[in-house]
Amino acid sequence: MTEDRTSFDERLRAAQKRVAGKQATDQKPDAQDKSLLSLAARAGSEMLGGLVVGVLAGWGLDRWFHFRALFIVIFALLGGGAGILNVWRLMKSLERQE
Amino acid sequence: MAGGSSINVLEQFELHPVLGGLGEALSLSQAPIFMVVACVLVLAFLHFGMKPAAVVPGRLQAAAEICYEFIHNLAVDTIGPEGTAFFPFIFALFFFILAGNYLGLIPFSYTFTSHIAVTFALALMVFLIAIIVSLKVQGFKFFAHFMPAGAPVLLAPLLVPIEILSFLSRPVSLSIRLFANMVAGHVMFDIFASFVIMLAGLGFIGDVLAVGPLVINIALMGLELLVGALQAYVFAILTCIYLREAVSH
Amino acid sequence: MRNPVSLIRHSLVAGVSSLPLLMAAAPGAHAAGMPQLDFRNPLLTGQVIWGAGIFLFFYLALRSWALPKVDTVLASRSQRINGDLDQARAAKVDADNAVRELNETKKAAAAEAQAHLDAVLDEERKQTASRLAELGSKLEVEIASAEKAVAEERSRALESLKPIASDVTEALVQKLTGTKPDRVRIEAAVAKVAAEKSTISAIA
């Protein structure tokens, strides 16, 4: 009889915990994104994104101000910097999660 | 890939007008058709899944509920309490991309997520929404993020443009990522499929050898199922992260 | 943090992320012939505009029609589960109370029975003790009377012994001395010895 009661207690508590815990499941962001290949793809796209934005901005400014290639050179460099910054931030955020 | 008769791996990404002259006039290609199909499939899945509205769910209902809870948890856990407001948006984004990726895996179909214009439009939408939310929540303090705290003022002319470019690069890298993944998968499919066709044309030995690329293609199908879900997830979670930054003061 | 695996991983990532630099150096070569980059095609821009409309419709349909359906089902289920759990908890509390009550009743009944038993036993013990005392006193009286009777019998026997002893003494003395002794002196001597004997036997 006591055994039955403790098992009932346990089951009731477990059921309550299950219901309560349903709302508080902890989903780690980027948890599935840690494989090397997808990480590399992500880092590459971050780098490329910075570059593309830099080149496009430079190209647009060159056309606007009628320069041949001044802004595109400057902004390609800045875009590369931005890309490196993106990758660095990505690595930092992953390291914090580990 | 030498002759015109051999399969061009990029042909599958070409857009063709549908519905004849009307389609041409409205710039209607197969891409919007597949978008409609994807949306209808998702809505039908939810509709028929939730039709029983049972307390103890059946298989389809359980699947629909899992999808709902997965995105809901993603939105609320990542963005915070404000995530419920963005939940339908995240849900729409995730399943639009997921359905698009998976529709493209059907042979002879079309993948609208393999177009940089589409993925960039999606990313730009996310980016603009994040900016609007940022400006609404943070006001002009939003622009303070472009000068890193504690950095020497002398470096500001260098750092501020880099920070701005880094911020602007978000939708670009987001769209490039999805686009590149989809294109790479489908190009690989086509290359191995063309191997199968070429080898099968060589007679008996070719038939035997064609099994190799065929097996690779089947394995690729499994990989692409994974990649399609993963890219949709990444797009959704990065959207959540951008929105979290936007709503946090 | 800086284990070899993560170091390798970092350097690999750094290497891969520098690939776009090479790609960006020759953008035309890579992009040639990609239908996705043919921005003069009206179908390409058309799909974006169509896509925007379709996505907006999809979003609105989800927000106002499909997702609330799921939400109501989930909410009603969680309500139901919580209600069931509350019921179970209430039932458990009731059951626990009943068990406690039962135990208390049982304990009280046991205590009462014990008290009753103690009282009965006590009564019994007292009765036994008084009966024993009565019996003892009766026995003592009987013993006393019996002793008295024995003592009387003894003294009577001793008394009856005296003339015999006197006669025997007289006959012995007459045989030894040849003269008839004084009867009074013999009786006195016998009485003296008998008194000594009786004290000895009394002591013994």
Question: How do the domains of chain B map onto residue ranges?
Answer: 15-247
A–B CB contacts, 8 A cutoff, strictly below: 85
- On the question of pLDDT at C115 being above 90, the answer is yes
How do the domains of chain A map onto residue ranges?
A: 39-98
Residues B188-243: tens digit of each pLDDT? 888 888 888 888 777 777 777 778 778 888 888 888 899 899 899 989 999 999 99
Comparison of pLDDT for B130 and C3, the residue scoring more: B130
B115 touches chain C (CB under 8 A): yes
3-state secondary structure chain B: CCCCCCCCCCHHHCCCECCHHHHHHCCCEHHHHHHHHHHHHHHHHHHHHHCCCCCCCCHHHHHHHHHHHHHHHHHHHHHCCCHHHHHHHHHHHHHHHHHHHHHCCCCCCCCHHHCHHHHHHHHHHHHHHHHHHHHHHHHHHHHHHHCCCCCCHHHHHHHHHHHHHHHHHHHHHHHHHHHHHHHHHHHHHHHHHHHHHHHHCCCHHHHHHHHHHHHHHHHHHHHHHHHHHHHHHHHHHHHHHHHHHHHCC
Token pair of B232, please?
Answer: 């949709």
Q: How far is CA C41 from the centre of its chain?
A: 90
Token pair of A71, please?
Answer: 């802004």
- On the question of pLDDT at B184 being above 90, the answer is no
Q: Which ranges constitute the DSSP H helices of chain C? A: 4-17, 19-25, 27-31, 42-61, 67-177, 183-203
Among B193, B195, B175, smallest CA distance to B185 is for B193
Neighbours of chain B (3+ CB pairs under 8 A): A, C
pLDDT band at residue B71 under the 50/70/90 scheme: very high
With 0-12 CB in 10 A as exposed, 13-18 as middle and 19+ as buried, what is B139? exposed
The predicted structure's pLDDT at residue C192: 83
Instruction: Name the percent of chain B lying above pLDDT 90.
Output: 39
CB within 8 Å: B36 and C54: yes
The alpha-carbon gap from B120 to the nearest alpha carbon of chain C, in Å, equals 9
The predicted structure's pLDDT at residue A25: 40
Q: Give dist(CA B161, CA B147) in Å, integer.
A: 9
The predicted structure's pLDDT at residue B101: 93
Q: Which residues of C touch B (CB under 8 A)?
A: 33-37, 39, 41-52, 54-55, 57-59, 61-63, 65-67, 69-74, 76-77, 80
B76 touches chain C (CB under 8 A): no
Check: complex ipTM more than 0.85 = yes
The predicted structure's pLDDT at residue C107: 95
C-alpha separations of C63 from B63, B97, B130, C151, C201 in Å: 19, 17, 19, 127, 129
Q: Give dist(CA B179, CA B171) in Å, integer.
A: 12
- On the question of pLDDT at C3 being above 80, the answer is no
